[in-house]
Structure 1
Amino acid sequence: MNQKESNLPMVGAIIAAIGAGVCCVGPLLLLLLGISGSWISNLSAFEAYRPLFILAVMLLLSYTGWKIYRPIEQCESGRACAIPATRSRRKVIFWLVTVTAIVLLTSNDWILCFV
């Protein structure tokens, strides 16, 4: 698996998290930019797909975590997963992506505090 293929699950998880949070984060961003109006309340078209996005985030992050935290003995010699510095960097990126995804997924719960 090359570098781009190994990053694909993390990128997919972030995209799915954005999709899950777009119904709530989108109107907040518009309000923060000074754009307002009653039409903003109609920006919930993606709400019906939210469970699917959440499932996609969970599956992609689970797969990524499994790939990153698997024993080093399962990595082929010379592959990126066998290099300790690369493994450490990927773990940091994985946790940053996971925190970002959690913030986006839970945005409809905490966003009401700011509006």
Structure 2
Amino acid sequence: MLLVALGLGGAWGSHLTALRPFQPLFVAVSIAFFAVAFRRLYAQSEKCTAGEACAAPSVRHRQRVIFWVVVPAALALISFPLYAPLFY
């Protein structure tokens, strides 16, 4: 994002391969974060104690909808190197 903010576009960024060896690590960390988010949205029940504000059910529903919109898009981008050769 820093490169885009500096005005360096995708054509230049496509030649940037210094981080390529770390791609499996980035994928693993991304999947781990998605697993944590899923756990917080579905597996853990929100415990409210006296004096604390709890998220309304509509907020939790909105968070779940956003989660299910972001995950397929992120997985499509993560798996892009696998299906990119099909376009050439």
2:47 corresponds, among 58, 75, 80, to 75
Count of aligned pairs: 76
Q: Are 1:109 and 2:85 matched, yes or no?
A: no
- The answer for unaligned runs of 5 or more in structure 1 is 1-14, 16-28
- Pick the structure with greater CA Rg: 2
**Aligned structure 1 segments of 4 or more residues deviating by more than 2 angstroms:** none
**As a proportion of its length, which structure holds more helix?**
1
1:87 aligns with 2:60: yes
User: For the residues of structure 1 that align with 2:17 and 2:40, how far apart are their CA atoms?
Assistant: 34
In 2, distance between residues paired with 1:67 and 1:52? Answer: 23
Q: Kindly, what percent of the aligned residue pairs are identical? A: 24
**TM-score, normalization: structure 1?**
0.56
TM-score (norm 2): 0.70
Can you give the 5+ residue segments of structure 2 that lack an aligned partner in the other structure? 2-9
Secondary structure (helix, strand or coil) at the match of 2:76 reads helix
